[in-house]
Amino acid sequence: MALKRVDKIGEEKKRWQDSLLKKANPVQKPLTDWGEPIEVLYTPDEFGLLDYLSEIGFPGEYPFVRGVHPTMYLGRTWTMRQYSGFGTAEETNKRFRYLLSQGQTGLSVAFDLPTQIGYDSDHPMSKGEVGKAGVPVDSLEDMEIIFDGLPLDQLSTSMTINAPAAILLAMYLVVAERQGIAPEKLRGTIQNDILKEYTVRGTYIFPPQPSMRLITDVIAYCSKNVPQWNTINVSGYHMREAGCSAVQEIAFSFSNAIAYLEAGLKTGLDIDSFAPRISWIFNTHNKLFEEVAKYRAARKVWADLLRRRFKAKDPRSWVLRFHTQTSGVSLTAQQPENNIIRVAYQVLAAVLGGAQSIAACSFDEALALPTEDSVRLSLRTQQILDHETGVTDTVDPMGGSYFIEALTQNMIQEILRLIDQVDRMGGAVAAVEKGFFQREIESRAYAVQRAIEENKRIVVGVNKYQSSEKPAISLFKSNPEHAGQQTAKLQKLKEKRKQDQVNSSLQDLRKAAEGRENLMPCFMEAVRVYATLGEICGVLREVFGEYKPVEIVK
C-alpha cells in the first residue's frame, strides 16, 4: 500500500512539473550554498526520504538529528550571550553588568588583538591595538576587574581565546579561587581551537605541535579538576566568516576536531573522559533552510563519528552541543538598519536548528563597536523570538519537511566526502600545512565576491536597492586615553608585585615546558603572583619557537 502511494506521488509530481514547463517563463532552479541545484518541489518519494525519516528517531536520542534534548526549549531556553569586551577591564565589567541587568544569561568575552597573540599592552607590537576590538588582559589584575562582583558559580562564561587560552583559563580559575568558588562549580568555555588560526584567523603564536600540547594539557587538567568546563570550543564560525560554504564549515571544523580527539587519545586519555566537554561555535548565515539543515546534518555526522570511528560508549560523547553567532560578514555598512532584519532571520534559523547558545550581532557592527542601545536591541531580538513568536512551543518544528530533510541528507553526504578527503591527506594538521583549507576557502570566497560584483548574488542595499541617504545612527566612539591608562596600570603592577616570586614562577614554567609535565599548574602559579601574559608567553616563545606561515601554492 505504501509503495503504491509513493508511485502515486511520483506520478502527480511529474504531471505538475510538465504543466509548469508549459509556461512561458519556467522556474529556474537556484543553487544551494555549496552549489547543488535546488528542486522546484520536494516530495517524500525522492532522495530516499522515506527510509531516512524512519531512522532519524526522536529528539534527545541517537543520532540526535532532531535535537540533543528530549524537550529542547520546552525544558530550557537557549543561553543568550552578547560578545563583549573593549577599552579597559573596568569598561567591560560595566558592559557585562548592563547586559545581565537586561536579561542576558551568559557572558562572552572578546579580547583585544595583543592579548590574543600573547603581548602585553606596553609591548611595541601592541601599539594602536590596545582595547580597540576587545578587552586587554595583561595580568590576573585585569581578569579580577572584569569579573568583579559577578558570581562566577552562577554564570556561564565563554572566552574567545586560542593561542594563550590555557593562560587565560588559569587566570579565570584563580579569580574564582579568590571568590571562594570551587572549580567543580565553574561552567563555561574557552575556544582553544588553534588549527583554524593557522587556516583563516591568524592569531597564532607557537607551531602546531607545542600548540596541540597546550590543548591536551587543558583537556587533561580540566577533566580532573574543572569537570563542567568545556575545554575546547571548535570553531567553524571563523572559517565561514572567511568565506567557506556551510558544508565546508562543518567538514573542516570536524576534521580539526578529529585531530584534537586523536591528540587527546595519544596522551592516554579515555575518549569518554573528555569528548563530552567538546563544544562548538558555528556561524548562522542568511539561507534559513540550509542553516537549519546544516545543524541537523552536523549532529548526525558527529554522533556517528564518535560512536563508530572513536568507539565512544558514553552517549554524552555522541552529542553535538553548539553555540552559534549570527554572521558578522553578512552585515553591511550600507543601509545598516537592514542588518536588524538579517540578524533576526539568522537567529530564527539558529533556533529552528536547535542551538544551545546564541549571540546575535548588533546592526552597527559593520561601522563600529556596538553601542549599548544596539546591543540591547540584539538581545531583545532573541527575547522576542523566545517569548512572542511561538517557535519554541513544540520540539523540532521543522522535522519532516521534505525540503529540510532532503537538504540534510545531501549535506551529510557532502560533509563526509570532505572529511574523507582531509583524512586521505593525513588529517587536519597535514591539510593545514599543505594549504588545502586555505585554498578551498579563498577560492569559494572569491567566487562569492565575484557573484556579488556581477549582480548574480543580490545583497540588498549594496548591489540592488541602493540609497544615497546616510544613516541617522549614533556610533560607538572609543576613548583614546584607554591605551595610556592600561599601560600605566601595568607599570604600577610591575612596581608593586614581588619580582622574586615572578622570576621563580617563570623559571619553573621554563623547566616544565622543556619537559613533558602538564603546564596548567605552572600557569596558575605564575598568574597568582601576577606574572603577565606577555612574560609567560615570552618564556613559551623561547622554548617552543614561533609559527611561520607556510606559503600557499595556488
pLDDT tens-digit series, residues 285-318:
999 999 999 999 999 999 999 999 999 999 999 9
On whether the CB atoms of residues 413 and 407 are closer than 8 A, the answer is: no
String of b and e for 12-44 (b: at least 16 CB within 10 Å)?
Answer: ebeeeeeeeeeeeeeeeeeebbbeeeeeeebbb
The dihedral sign for the CA sequence 434, 435, 440, 446: negative
Residue 236 lies inside a defined structural domain of this protein = yes
Instruction: Write the pLDDT tens digit of every residue in 194-241.
Output: 999 999 999 999 999 999 999 999 999 999 999 999 999 999 999 999
Task: Tell me what pLDDT residue 551 has.
Answer: 66
Peptide bond into 44 cis (omega under 30): no
Domain span including residue 307: 53-76+156-356+365-453
pLDDT of 1: 36
Q: What is the pLDDT of residues 35-46, one digit of tens each?
A: 888 988 888 777
CA distance 434 to 411: 25
The answer to whether residue 41 sits within a structural domain is no
Q: What is the mean pLDDT of the chain?
A: 92
Least confident among 20-24, 115-119, 404-408, 509-513: 20-24
Tell me: pLDDT of 23 over 70: no
Task: Report pLDDT for 77.
Answer: 94
* 90, 96, 100, 101 alpha-carbon torsion, rounded to 10°: 40
What is the CATH classification number for the domain harbouring 442? Answer: 3.20.20.240
Please indicate whether residue 86 or residue 144 has the higher confidence score (pLDDT): 144
Please provide the size of the chain in residues. 554
Nearest to 142 by CA among 181, 100, 114, 183: 114
Confidence of residue 2 (pLDDT cuts 50, 70, 90): very low
Check pLDDT > 50 for residue 414.
yes
**Position 376 in a domain:** yes
The alpha carbon dihedral of 353, 359, 362, 366 has a sign of: negative
Q: What is the pLDDT of residue 360?
A: 95
- What pLDDT sits at residue 81? 86
Which residues on neighbouring strands pair with residue 234, listed in sequence order? 280
- Examine the pLDDT at 59 and tell me if it is beyond 90: yes
Residue 180 has what pLDDT? 96
Across the range 85-108, mean pLDDT stands at 91
Residue 552 within a domain: no
Provide the CA 548 distance to its chain's centre, in angstroms: 25
On whether residue 385 sits in a domain, the answer given is yes
The confidence score (pLDDT) of residue 191 equals 96
Residues contacting residue 535 through CB under 8 Å, at least 6 positions apart = 120, 502, 506, 526
Which of residues 552 and 361 earns the better pLDDT score?
361
Q: What mean pLDDT is predicted for residues 398-419?
A: 95
What DSSP character marks residue 45?
T
pLDDT at 554 over 80: no
Residue 401 half-sphere exposure toward CB, CA atoms < 13 A: 17
For residue 278, being part of any structural domain is answered with: yes
Residue range 65-77: mean pLDDT, rounded = 95
Answer whether residue 408 is part of any domain.
yes
pLDDT at 117 over 50: yes
Rounded CA-CA distance 215/341 in Å is: 38
- DSSP calls for 434-478: TTHHHHHHHHHHHHHHHHHHTTSS--BTTTBS---PPP--PPP--
Q: Where are the alpha helices (DSSP H) in 147-245?
A: 165-178, 195-196, 208-225, 237-241
What's the rounded Cα separation, in Å, for the pair 3 and 1? 5
Q: Report the pLDDT value the prediction gives residue 553, as an integer from 0 to 100.
A: 56
Give the side-chain half-sphere CA count within 13 A for 444: 19
CB burial class (10 A; 0-12, 13-18, 19+) of residue 165? buried
pLDDT for the residue numbered 3: 41
6 pLDDT band, cuts 50/70/90, is low
> Looking up cell 598568574, which residue turns up?
527
Report the pLDDT averaged over residues 311-331.
Answer: 97
pLDDT computed for residue 356 by the predictor: 96
pLDDT computed for residue 51 by the predictor: 82
Q: What is the pLDDT of residues 145-167, one digit of tens each?
A: 999 999 999 999 999 999 999 99
The pLDDT-based confidence of 407 (bands split at 50, 70, 90) is very high
- Residue 44 near residue 50 (C-beta atoms within 8 A): yes
The model's pTM? 0.92
474 or 108, higher pLDDT: 108
CA distance 501 to 326: 44
Q: pLDDT tens digit string along 441-482?
A: 999 999 999 999 999 999 999 999 999 888 778 887 778 888
Structural domain includes residue 296 = yes
How many structural domains does the chain have? 1
Residues 502 and 508: their CA atoms lie apart, in Å, by 10
Greater confidence (81 vs 321) lies with: 321
Torsion angles phi and psi, residue 147, rounded to 5: -105, 20
Instruction: State the average pLDDT over residues 61-78.
Output: 95
Q: Would you place residue 25 in the very low, low, confident or very high pLDDT band (cuts 50, 70, 90)?
A: low
